[in-house]
């Protein structure tokens, strides 16, 4: 049903997340997903500009229908597919009015809380920042969050933004709250918002469904330990191969072969990502041996040449 839908979106974008949540809630997960890079200015590409002349994401097309702006996309999906998935807009006029108000109102979380504080850090040079301006941004942020804390306090534990059910209001508000949490915001002074955040996430891994953020974290930690173990075991095999061959050897013997052309890129990637090779001395020597070969230098990823290694795997 969603095969003629296409959504251009960028990772980390609250508005894009809104549209994606709505598509999933309406049972339209088989839409064509086009992840674009803001860093590479892909939102300004001809492909996106044909749909959204402003060159912004999300940009959405359903057949011959083009809809831009996240709230407009959400309303379009709800109105077009009322009979399927989650009912995001209640029929009751009073409840519908509340949902629509909260949906539109959630933009304040982005502007005054998430975007307001974060943009000051990201877009203002350290030397240009002032304590007074930072305090003003923080004050505005807390005042806005206190409004939403009050809404949830009145509704009681277990409530969503506009009542007992998940609605368009949650589609619009949750991504901005999640952004704050992601950036390390301390939610301890907003207990109802913290409970709401824990209420909404649902994590699916294969046939496993985990709810509650702490449970999700514990599940991922267990999975991560399993992946780490598999990683160490695999690298130990290759360490053993090289140990048997002796110093100065390649993967399959004294000469550089197809085996090296196939294996080296993956070893280089984990080094690039900060993996500590100290427990694999033969692999470390092998990496140093091969990285200086003319063929490897000539094919070295261009963006690696001008940027430092990452630290993603440094603590593994």
Q: In residues, how long is the chain?
A: 316
Residue 253's φ and ψ, nearest 5 degrees, are: 150, -155
| Mean per-residue pLDDT over the chain, rounded | 84
Which are the contacts of 89, defined by CB distance < 8 A and separation ≥ 6? 75, 78, 79, 96, 99, 100, 167, 168
Shared-domain flag, residues 106 and 179: yes
| pLDDT at position 4 | 93
CATH code, domain with 231 = 1.20.1050.10
| pLDDT at position 215 | 53
| pLDDT at position 222 | 64
105 is a domain residue? yes
The parts of the chain modelled with pLDDT lower than 70 are 1, 113-122, 201-224, 312, 314-316
**DSSP characters over 157-212:** TT-BTTBSS--HHHHHHHHHHHHHHHTT---TT-HHHHHHHHHS-EEEETTEEEES
DSSP state of 250: B
| pLDDT at position 191 | 94
Shared-domain flag, residues 133 and 189: yes
| pLDDT at position 224 | 62
Q: How many domains, in total, are found in the chain?
A: 3
Which are the contacts of 120, defined by CB distance < 8 A and separation ≥ 6? 129, 133, 134, 137
The domain of 284 spans 224-305
Q: Determine the Cα–Cα distance for residues 111 and 105; give it in Å rounded to an integer.
A: 10
Helix (H, G, I), strand (E, B), or coil: what is residue 67? strand
143 is a domain residue? yes
218 is a domain residue? no
CATH code, domain with 40 = 3.40.30.10
DSSP state of 36: E
| pLDDT at position 212 | 47
**CA-to-CA separations, 115 to 4, 137, 164, 293, in angstroms, rounded:** 33, 10, 28, 47
């Amino acid at each position: 049903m969603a095969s003629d839908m296409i959504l251009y979106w960028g990772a980390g974008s609250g508005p894009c997340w809104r549209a994606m949540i709505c598509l999933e809630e309406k049972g339209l997960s088989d839409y064509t997903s086009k992840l674009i890079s803001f860093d590479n200015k892909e939102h300004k590409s001809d492909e996106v500009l044909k749909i959204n002349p402003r060159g912004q994401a999300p940009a959405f097309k359903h057949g011959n229908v083009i809809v831009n702006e996240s709230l407009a996309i959400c309303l379009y999906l709800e109105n077009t597919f009322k009979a399927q998935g989650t009912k995001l807009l209640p029929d009751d006029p009073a409840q519908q009015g509340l949902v629509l108000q909260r949906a539109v109102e959630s933009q304040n979380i982005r502007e005054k809380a998430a975007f307001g504080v974060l943009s000051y850090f990201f877009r203002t040079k350290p030397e240009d920042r002032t304590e007074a301006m930072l305090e003003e941004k923080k004050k505005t942020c807390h005042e806005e969050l206190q409004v939403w804390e009050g809404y949830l306090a009145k509704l009681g534990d277990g409530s969503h933004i506009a009542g007992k059910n998940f609605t368009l209001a949650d589609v619009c508000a949750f991504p901005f709250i999640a952004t704050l949490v992601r950036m390390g915001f301390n939610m301890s002074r907003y207990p109802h918002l913290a409970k709401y955040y824990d209420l909404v996430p649902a994590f699916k891994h294969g046939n496993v469904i985990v709810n509650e953020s702490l449970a999700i974290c514990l599940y991922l930690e267990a999975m991560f330990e399993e992946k780490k173990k598999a990683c160490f075991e695999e690298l130990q095999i290759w360490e053993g191969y090289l140990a048997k061959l002796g110093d100065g050897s390649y993967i399959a013997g004294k000469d550089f072969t197809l085996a090296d052309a196939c294996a080296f890129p993956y070893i280089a990637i984990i080094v690039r990502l900060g993996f500590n090779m100290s427990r694999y001395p033969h692999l470390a020597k092998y990496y140093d041996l091969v990285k200086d070969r003319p063929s490897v230098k000539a094919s070295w990823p261009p963006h690696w040449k001008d940027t430092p290694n990452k630290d993603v795997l440094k603590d593994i």
